[in-house]
Structures are given as structure tokens and as C-alpha cells.
Amino acid sequence: MTPKISFRNVRKTFEIAGNAAFTALEGLNLDIEDGEFITVVGPSGCGKSTAMNIAAGLTAPSSGQVLVDDVSVTGPGPERGVIFQQYALFPWLTVRENVEFGLTISGKSKAERRRIADHFIDLVGLTDFANSLPKTLSGGMKQRCAIARAYAVNPKILLMDEPFGALDALTRVQLQDQLLAMWSKERRTVMFITHDVDEAVYLASRVVVMAARPGRLHKVVDVDLPYPRTEEMRLSSEFSELRNEVWRAVYHPAAAA
Amino acid sequence: MAVVETEHAPEATRQAPLLSGPLGMLAINIVAVVIGVILWGLVTSYGVVGLPTPMAVVTQAVIQAESGLLWSDALASLARVFTGFALGIIVAIPVGFLMGWYRIARAIIEPYVQFFRTIPPLAIIPLAIVTMGIDEMPKIFVIFLASFLSSVVATYQGVISVDRTLLNAARVLGANDFTIFRRVIVPASLPYIMVGVRIGLGASWSTVVAAELIAAQSGLGFRMQQAQLYYDLPTIFVSLISIGILGLIMDRIVMAIDSVLTAWQEKL
């Protein structure tokens, strides 16, 4: 079976004024299977967001390529939904209008847009706020709206760039569970960027650990815990072993290697 | 008169909890204006300064209003402002978008905008009169210039300040350049455009009055210039106050439109 997303020797360098080029990403090779939920964790400067932006088609690689269904990525496309850390909701549109944004572009009829939007708004629990403007929502609600908006255009892949990074710990845990519940209902291939080791282990079937200077893949940790994930699992010894393994790989890349 | 003043003050302090509300603020506004007019009346009626009393100005205003002169003057000034201002905005918004969206357009237009921005629009009047004659054209042109220059910069700023994440969000949802322009750039830069509109209207209004002082046969500025020849201070006051009130009303209308159009903004 061909992988859903395939990073093939992806390299990205940035020019720094008056200085040599900075290598954000060095020869990344990674295959993500269809329907898989992987998390990418690593210190800042490890190129995890760069990798995601290249897969999203928002940044061009300096060399190498990303294949989605064996087709090289050349730009953004609605089959790859992106969820940003800063929510990126259109503040002049209501929750429903935000969720309908992508559906309007794909030329769906008004009734069809309404039906799909309401379905996903319901799924993220924002039905009571469908007609509210983003400024009236909390951070967690904004991100739920952004998730509904990404899901609405029916992408095969969800690329999430530290989506819960700006939220408080409690909201973060709630959204992790909601995201997993949604993922098991509406299965998509997910690439989830985070700097939180607990989050990385709790969500993923595989954790990709990256290292910095130059940004590169360091280690892949398989998470053998079954889905659905539960609070008890979070407290289990298997979980803490996995978490320790990822933690060591993130914070002591040389020692772990 | 001094009694009236002291009567207001304790009343205002008694209502202290109410004062922070909008009605309380309005009450303080009114009291402040009333006190100002009373002071004006005091210094003029006792001859401290050689200015007309409030009564003399009101009498002159009533005479002008009854003869229709006040209305025709105000109308003449307003017509010039709206023509020049509307033309300025209509041209400035597309040019501002062009400058924000295309680097080439910015490189071509920006030197001109920055250069003419440093010249007060009034300094163009002699040139405008020589080249366009003494009828409405030169005045409207100068007002056009004043509103265009302030709005074009604001629009351009708005376009280049659009949050890149919003552009990316639209792009990954499948939006092409035209959709991004229409559904992201335009609404996102609206608050900036409204700031430009407000500054542009203020600039237009001050320019029209000055332009009428220099060259006009009607308008509030022209009326003041005529009154100056006859040492007619009440008329000058009537014109000045009319200019102030009309300017204030126009500014408030723009603010009201702005608060409706940009109600979605997260205000701190």
C-alpha cells in the first residue's frame, strides 16, 4: 500500500541576511499511512512546522519533495486541511460562515453548505454559537470552530500545527479527547505538530521525534496503546514508559542516539 | 450666571456612580459646553475681550438663517466637500489595494504619494487656479487631493497589514487569488480604510474652508472672508461655529458607519 503522505529527502534552507543559509530541515524521510494519526514533537528550531508547511503546500522545499497519494505537492489544496495555532478564523464571519467558507469555494449549494456546516458545528459542540462572531468565543471554542472548518471541506489529511499550544491545560485535555473522538468517527490521516510530550504520546499511534540544528528526524516511537484512549491510559505505566522514552529522545537527543 | 454654574457642580458629584455611564458622560459634556458659553458671555459682556457676545452671534445666525444665506453657504461648502471627498475615496481605495497587492504598483505609485503628502493641499491652490480657472474645479480638485492622499495610504497600510495566517487559512481551504482578495483582503483592511476615510473627511473639510477663503463666491469660508472686509465679527463667528458643528456631525456619522461595519473587531 502506498503511504498517504511521503516525505522524500525534504530539505529546507532559509537565507539569513549577511550570513550563510540556515538549514531548517535536513533530508527528512517519512511515510504516513492512510488513516494514521502521527504526532511530531521536538524542540523549537527542529523544523517540525516547516515540514508541516511544506506538506500543506504553503512553503516550497529547497530540495526533495512531499508526495500525497503519490502526487507531488506543489501548492495548498482542499484535500489537505490545515489547523493553525492562532486559530486563523475570519473575525468578520460568524462560526457558521467560517465553517462554510471552504464549502462556498467548492461551489456547494446553499442548503448543502448549511447541512454540512451544521453537522460539523454539532460535532465540535458549537451549535449554540453557530451565529456568534469569533470575538465572543474562548480560545478553546475558536479552535473547535477551526477544526470544524477544516473538516467541512472533507480533507483526506489534517495537518495541525500546535493547535492546542495556546490553550490552558484543562481545555487542552478536553480538546485532545474531542479530537480523538472525532477522528474515530470521521477517520482522516492526521499529522499533528506539538511541543508537548504528553500530548504527542496520548494522541498518536506513532510519535516522530525531531532534533534541532539542523532540523532532522531523530527517532520514531510506536505507541502500542489501543484506541479509544482513556484517562486511565494516561495514568498507566505503559503510558509513562512511552512518555519517558519520547521525553529522553526530545531532550537528550545525543544520549538517546 | 455664577449661580447656575455652582448649581451644576454639586449635582454632578451627587450622581457620581452614574457618571461613568454613557448618559453621565453626555451630561458632563453638556455641562462643560454650557459653562464654556457662560464664560464666553462673561468675558465679552464685561468687555474683557473685543469679541461679539453669544447673543450677538445668535442674532446674526437667526438673521442669516431667515434670509437663507446660512443654508446656501453651508450647502455650497458641503457640496464641494462631498464631491471632492467622494472622488478622492473612490480613486484612493482601488489605488491603495493595487499598491498593497502588487509590489510593482507600489514601487511606481509610492514616490508620488509620499511626495505629494508632504505638500499641504492648500499650497496647490495657486497652481490649481492658474491651470483650472476660478470656478468649482480647482476647489474640488484640492479637496480630492486632500482626501485621496490620506485614504490611499490607509488603504495600502490595511492591505499589507492583513494577517498572513488568514491568507494561508483561505488558501488551504481552496481559495484562489480573486477569492482571497474579495473575501479576506477587503474585509480585513476595512478598519484601516475607515480610519483613512475619517482622516480624509477631516482633511477635506479643513481644506474646503481654506480654499473658500482664497477663492470663492459662496460657502462658509467665503462668507467669513467677506465679513472680514466689513469687520463683521458676529458673521465670522456664525461661520466658524457652523464649520465646527458640521465637521463634528460628519465625523460622528463616519464613526457610526465604522462601528457598524467593523463590529466584528476584537477591541481591547
Write out pLDDT tens, residues B209-227.
888 888 788 899 999 999 9
Which residue of A90, A93, A105 is in closest CB contact with B174?
A105
Is B193 a residue whose pLDDT tops 80? yes
Nearest CA in chain A to B167: A88
Q: Which pLDDT belongs to residue B59?
A: 93
Q: Are strands A189-194 and A157-161 parallel, antiparallel or unpaired?
A: parallel
Which residue of A57, A90, A135 is in closest CB contact with B184?
A90
- Cell of residue B242, nine digits: 457652523
Q: B163 and chain A: CB distance < 8 Å anywhere?
A: yes
Is A256 a residue whose pLDDT tops 80? no
- Closest by alpha carbon to B142, among B156, B130, B157, B155? B130
pLDDT: is A155 or B133 the higher one? A155
Confidence class for position A19, pLDDT limits 50, 70, 90 = low
Q: B252 and chain A: CB distance < 8 Å anywhere?
A: no
Q: B261 and chain A: CB distance < 8 Å anywhere?
A: no
Is A254 a residue whose pLDDT tops 70? no
Q: Which pLDDT belongs to residue A257?
A: 42
% of chain B at pLDDT higher than 90: 64
Is B4 a residue whose pLDDT tops 60? no
Return d(Cα B32, Cα B140) in angstroms, integer: 36
Stretch A145-170: mean pLDDT, rounded? Answer: 92
Instruction: Please count the other Cβ atoms lying within 10 Å of the Cβ belonging to residue B28.
Output: 14
Which residue of B170, B174, B266 is in closest CB contact with A91?
B266
Write out pLDDT tens, residues B114-154.
999 899 888 888 888 889 887 888 889 999 999 999 899 99
Q: Are strands A189-194 and A37-41 parallel, antiparallel or unpaired?
A: parallel
- Please return the burial class of A252, using the count of CB atoms within 10 Å of its CB with bins 0-12, 13-18 and 19+: exposed
Return d(Cα B189, Cα B196) in angstroms, integer: 11
Hey, of B161, B165, B173, which one would you mutate to test binding to chain A, going by the most A CBs within 10 A of its CB? B173
Cα three-residue angle B63-B68-B72, rounded to 5 degrees = 130
- Cell of residue B248, nine digits: 463634528
Task: State the nearest Cα–Cα gap between A119 and chain B, in angstroms.
Answer: 18
Which residue of B170, B171, B264 is in closest CB contact with A135?
B264
> Are B168 and A82 an interchain contact pair (Cβ–Cβ within 8 Å)?
yes
CB A208 within 8 A of CB A222: no
Write out pLDDT tens, residues B9-52.
444 445 455 667 788 888 999 999 999 999 999 998 887 778 89
Write out pLDDT tens, residues B163-192.
999 999 999 999 998 999 999 999 999 999
Size of interface A-B (CB pairs under 8 A): 64
Confidence class for position A113, pLDDT limits 50, 70, 90 = very high
Confidence class for position A166, pLDDT limits 50, 70, 90 = confident
Q: B266 and chain A: CB distance < 8 Å anywhere?
A: yes
% of chain B at pLDDT higher than 70: 93
Confidence class for position B7, pLDDT limits 50, 70, 90 = very low
**Contacting residues of A for B179, CB less than 8 Å apart:** 105
Cα three-residue angle B161-A76-A106, rounded to 5 degrees = 95
Return d(Cα A147, Cα A127) in angstroms, integer: 14
Is A47 a residue whose pLDDT tops 70? yes
> Are A101 and B172 an interchain contact pair (Cβ–Cβ within 8 Å)?
no
Is A49 a residue whose pLDDT tops 60? yes
Residues in A whose CB is inside 8 Å of some CB of B read 56-58, 76-78, 80-82, 84, 86, 88-93, 101-102, 105-106, 133-135, 149, 153
- Closest by alpha carbon to A55, among A31, A37, A86? A31
CB A147 within 8 A of CB A182: yes
Q: Which pLDDT belongs to residue A253?
A: 67
Give the torsion sign (CA, A30, A32, A38, A39): positive
- ipTM topping 0.90: no
Q: B188 and chain A: CB distance < 8 Å anywhere?
A: yes
Task: State the nearest Cα–Cα gap between B264 and chain A, in angstroms.
Answer: 5
Q: B135 and chain A: CB distance < 8 Å anywhere?
A: no
**Contacting residues of A for B188, CB less than 8 Å apart:** 92
- DSSP string spanning B62-105? HHHHHHTHHHHHHHHHHHHHHHHHHHHHHHHHHHHHHHHH-HHH
**Contacting residues of A for B169, CB less than 8 Å apart:** 82, 84, 88-90
Nearest CA in chain A to B261: A92
Stretch A66-95: mean pLDDT, rounded? Answer: 93
What structural domains and CATH numbers belong to chain A? 1-76+188-257 (3.40.50.300)
**Contacting residues of B for A96, CB less than 8 Å apart:** none
Q: Which pLDDT belongs to residue A192?
A: 96
In the numeric block, the cell 502588487 is attached to B102
